[in-house]
Amino acid sequence: MNDDKALYPPVDPIVAGIKGLCPRCGQGHVFDGFLKVRPACENCELDYRFADSGDGPVVFVILIVGFIVVGAALWMEVNLNPPLWLHFLLWIPLATVFSLVLTRMLKGVLINLQYRNNARSGEIDRG
Domain boundaries, the chain: 5-116
| Best CA proximity match to 44, nearest among 21, 30, 27, 20 | 27
pTM of the model: 0.85
Per the CB < 8 A criterion, the answer to whether 16 and 22 are in contact is: yes
C-alpha 86/C-alpha 65 separation (Å) is: 19
Work out the mean pLDDT of the chain and round it to a whole number: 91
What average pLDDT does the segment 87-100 reach? Answer: 97
Is residue 106 within 8 Å of 13, Cβ to Cβ?
Answer: no
Q: pLDDT, tens digit, for every residue of 32-55?
A: 999 999 999 999 999 999 888 889
- Spatial distance between the Cα atoms of 41 and 22, rounded to a whole number of angstroms: 6
pLDDT digits (tens, 9 = 90+) for 71-91: 999 999 999 999 999 999 999
